[in-house]
A and B are shown apart, each in its own frame.
Chain A
Amino acid sequence: MLNKLAIGGIKHRIRDYSVLFSGLMIAAAIFYMFMSLAMNKDFLNSNSPAAATVFIFGFGAVLLAIITVVYINYANKFLLSMRQKEYGMFMMLGAKSSKISKMIFVETFIIGAIASVIGIILGIFATGFVGQLLMKNLDMPVKYFSSFYMPALITTLIFFIVIFIFSALRNSISLRMTKVLTLLNKDSQPTRIKRNTVWTVFQAIIGLIFIGIGYAAMIHMGSNPIFIYIGVPVALVTIVIGTYFVMNSLTTTIISALKKNGKFSQKGLNNFTLSQLNFRIKDYTKILSMVSIMFSLALGAITVGLGFYQQIDTVVNGQKYYDSQIININSKEKALVDKMSGASTNRYDYKTTDKTVYYRQSDFKSQPFTYSHFNMDSMFSTQKKSTSLNNDEVKYEIQSSMLPKNQTKEIKAVSDQEYNNIQGKANSITYVKTDSFRKNLTPIKQVSEEQQSRFPSMKNAIADKYVVYKNINGFFSGLEFMGFFLGIAFLAMLASCLMFKILSGAAGDVKRYNMLHKIGARQKALRASINKEIAVLFAVPATLGIVHVLVGLQMFKALLMKPYSNLALPFIIFFVLYGGYYFLTRHLYKKIVLK
């Protein structure tokens, strides 16, 4: 009988349950996605130059596990918030509490188990999809990447089953412990803002000091990479604590200040909105701090990843000035060069003997050779022109672009007369410079391949710019790929956490909005109030998180040439995803709260 009633209850709230269910599925999917990378050592080692990668991913896995636990805790509270009144009712009518707690145990566990299994399947597809997307769109060759990875699957499954056994136990125990009366009137009690100014100011100062220490550590790491093993934990701990205190003191201060301002607060539903924010502020401080920390980690991961990735062109262009080089150009290659936009060519004749390669001095006079000069101090390369071969850097550049068999020979520039007298086969090399290497990648690649098939010995040499590009691209792609994965997984997780935190309060809000409706608040005003409330809850951690990221990028000063030059793309990606969660949350919230 009771079972039937309980199932009836679920049917009745099918929409709320589908929110819960899809949330849990997403959590399992994300966890699997992350694990499929983090546990795949072949993938990590072959795609990342840094020995620290395995460490970073291990660290990321622990963080994600913690967030997942917190997340499921919130989702679980959401479940309980839907059910406790009903179960309280059954108990009041005389159902045994052991029976009720058994029911909630079974319910929690079944929901969790089904969501995990479906979530993992979803995760396999999502991993494949995101992987393909990144590889194709960003031209990222990634090795040993596979969307189906058994160890990750098993780990995810075990991890979730264990969490759900605990959640189910918790739910059943908490139902058994609470009095029927509390269950029936479970609407949370208001927390009065105790405006203890001294304590608030103290918190703000302590918070700022902690954040300051964390920031100093991160900036220090930027110039002293060795410091990283102490610096990262120190920064993490201090910034977490600092964020909590700042969040706690700042939000309450701002809310009370706004409430005190009668002009603002007594306008429309403003006061109500402020009070809503105020109502659960103690609850929210924790999650907002956590979200802002996670937010900065995720955003940081994507920014740094992209930073590495976008560095590719800079690095490639710094290594070689000419976009393409062609030995003894033929008509097919000529046609390809004609396809390149803004192409200008330099053609130098040469003859080879056993020990020497001869060039015409006059060729260099009429077509000055441009080379990259790398400045070790500034870490930037500058372009210089030379009209002769009497320059080690020019010699090196030219030598390295020749066929391997000629690379060990001496090179010499001679007058036309001398050149004509030299016995040996006449060859030529053509250097091509276009207006953009990236834009002309396709014909440049074709030329490179054509050359390699005509001169097989070039296959193992790093002769032209395209080969340099291919190597560097492979190297950085791995980093970027990981950055993206880490970032998206974290973002999705933390935004869902915030979503559930907000949604689990929705059930208790129904009455309030209903009352406002009765005393004549327009639907539009109610919607606006909800939008504002949720916008604040999303914006506060985002703002603090962004500041953390901007300072945190200082850590990568030595690794990235310009850590701040590529902020736009990651921030856009981020806001689209985060904004998506904001709109989803307020939509679901309104569906629960308004009729």
Chain B
Amino acid sequence: MQNIVDVKNIEKIYGKANEKQFKALSDVNFEVQPGEFVGIMGASGSGKTTLLNILSTLDTPTRGQVKIAGEDITQLKNNEMADFRANQIGFIFQDFNLLENLTAYENIALPLALQNRSNKEIKPAVARISEKLGLTEILNHYPTELSGGQKQRVAAARALVHQPKIIFGDEPTGALDSKSARALMDTMTKINQEDNVSILLVTHDPFSASFCDRILFIKDGEIGQELKNESHSRGEFYQEILDSLGTFAE
């Protein structure tokens, strides 16, 4: 089966040729299979957000190739990039990034509206995903009227409503308390398993990471180590992650 994400030799250098340059990523290679739940961990400044921005077409690599669902996204033009994000990708950000002037319903419906889907299609799609994430009761609320956990679930619903091939999350649990974080990770796992959506998750938090199938550790812009959850329990995997972090950090 075709890989959902295929990253080959990417390199990212910040700063123009005549300015002070900084190499944030060097020679990164990896792939994500369909339905895989992959975590990316690493110290602050190691290049996680940079990598995610490149994968989600928000930024372009200096060198290298990124294929998502078989399409080389480094070759896309501006409009194609926007359409690509609208159709193929779902985002969940640390600070929720909900539009506070739209209700939860309207926020969730936004990606579909952007694709100019008809209202007839939008309604059932929003209803379906809201039910799945337990948001049905709060659809008419504005973001300021929601708790952090609820906001993040609305953000997740928005990321999922158009049934993207892959979801990117940049520390989605970063601003949540442990209970909400756990609820969100449970939801993500459920979606991952039931709908077979691939997920790529950047996180600092070993607990959140323990929900993943596989974890990539990134250090100074390079992938230094990989850890697979070989079908043992989450508790054990959590321990393993802590151990790896310990050794990896040294």
- Contact check, B101 vs A266: say whether CB atoms are below 8 A apart: no
- Contact check, B113 vs A520: say whether CB atoms are below 8 A apart: no
With a cutoff of 8 Å between Cβ atoms, the chain A residues found around residue B110 in the complex are 271-272, 516, 519
Q: Which of A262, A512, A520, A522 contacts B111 (CB 8 A)?
A: A520
- Contact check, A190 vs B100: say whether CB atoms are below 8 A apart: yes
Q: Which of A271, A279, A511, A518 contacts B113 (CB 8 A)?
A: A271
Cα A466 to Cα B106 in complex, Å, equals: 70
With a cutoff of 8 Å between Cβ atoms, the chain B residues found around residue A355 in the complex are none
With a cutoff of 8 Å between Cβ atoms, the chain A residues found around residue B113 in the complex are 266-271
Cα A292 to Cα B214 in complex, Å, equals: 62
Contact with B along A497-513 (1 / 0, CB 8 A): 00000000000000110
How many of chain A's residues have a CB under 8 angstroms from any CB in B? 30
With a cutoff of 8 Å between Cβ atoms, the chain B residues found around residue A517 in the complex are 82
Q: Which of B82, B101, B118 contacts A279 (CB 8 A)?
A: B101
- Contact check, A268 vs B99: say whether CB atoms are below 8 A apart: no
- Contact check, B114 vs A275: say whether CB atoms are below 8 A apart: no
Q: Is A187 located at the chain interface by the 8 A CB criterion?
A: yes
Q: Are A521 and B114 also in contact (CB < 8 A) when A266-B119, A266-B122 are? A: yes
With a cutoff of 8 Å between Cβ atoms, the chain A residues found around residue B85 in the complex are 518-520
Q: Is A196 located at the chain interface by the 8 A CB criterion?
A: no
Q: Which of A105-130 contact B (CB under 8 A)?
A: none
Central interface residue in B93, B118, B119, B122, by most chain A CB within 10 Å:
B119
- Contact check, A520 vs B86: say whether CB atoms are below 8 A apart: yes
Contact with A along B1-41 (1 / 0, CB 8 A): 00000000000000000000000000000000000000000
Cα A240 to Cα B158 in complex, Å, equals: 44
Cα A414 to Cα B113 in complex, Å, equals: 93
With a cutoff of 8 Å between Cβ atoms, the chain A residues found around residue B87 in the complex are 520
Q: Is A523 located at the chain interface by the 8 A CB criterion?
A: yes
Q: Is A136 located at the chain interface by the 8 A CB criterion?
A: no
| CB-nearest residue of chain A to B114 | A521
Cα A267 to Cα B144 in complex, Å, equals: 24
Q: Is A276 located at the chain interface by the 8 A CB criterion?
A: yes
Cα A422 to Cα B228 in complex, Å, equals: 133
| CB-nearest residue of chain A to B97 | A515
With a cutoff of 8 Å between Cβ atoms, the chain B residues found around residue A269 in the complex are 113-114
| CB-nearest residue of chain B to A187 | B100
Q: Which of A266, A275, A522 contacts B99 (CB 8 A)?
A: A275
- Contact check, B82 vs A276: say whether CB atoms are below 8 A apart: no
- Contact check, B114 vs A271: say whether CB atoms are below 8 A apart: no
- Contact check, A521 vs B86: say whether CB atoms are below 8 A apart: yes
Q: Is B109 located at the chain interface by the 8 A CB criterion?
A: yes
Q: Is A524 located at the chain interface by the 8 A CB criterion?
A: yes
Cα A515 to Cα B85 in complex, Å, equals: 12
Q: Are A271 and B142 also in contact (CB < 8 A) when A519-B158, A520-B114, A522-B83 are? A: no
Q: Is A192 located at the chain interface by the 8 A CB criterion?
A: yes
Q: Which of A366-381 contact B (CB under 8 A)?
A: none
Q: Is A263 located at the chain interface by the 8 A CB criterion?
A: yes
Q: Which of A189, A267, A518 contacts B58 (CB 8 A)?
A: A518
- Contact check, A268 vs B114: say whether CB atoms are below 8 A apart: yes
Q: Is A525 located at the chain interface by the 8 A CB criterion?
A: yes
With a cutoff of 8 Å between Cβ atoms, the chain B residues found around residue A522 in the complex are 78-79, 82-83
**Chain A proximity of B224: nearest CB distance (Å):** 28
With a cutoff of 8 Å between Cβ atoms, the chain A residues found around residue B102 in the complex are 271-272, 275
Q: Which of B82, B97, B109 contacts A271 (CB 8 A)?
A: B109
**Chain B proximity of A519: nearest CB distance (Å):** 6
| CB-nearest residue of chain A to B122 | A266
Central interface residue in B114, B117, B119, by most chain A CB within 10 Å:
B114
Cα A517 to Cα B114 in complex, Å, equals: 11
14 contacts between A and B (CB under 8 A): A189-B144, A192-B142, A266-B109, A271-B106, A271-B110, A275-B99, A275-B101, A520-B89, A521-B82, A521-B114, A522-B78, A522-B83, A523-B78, A523-B79
Apart from the given pairs A519-B91, A519-B114, 10 other A-B contacts in the complex at a CB distance below 8 Å: A266-B113, A266-B122, A268-B113, A269-B113, A276-B101, A515-B99, A518-B97, A519-B85, A522-B79, A523-B78
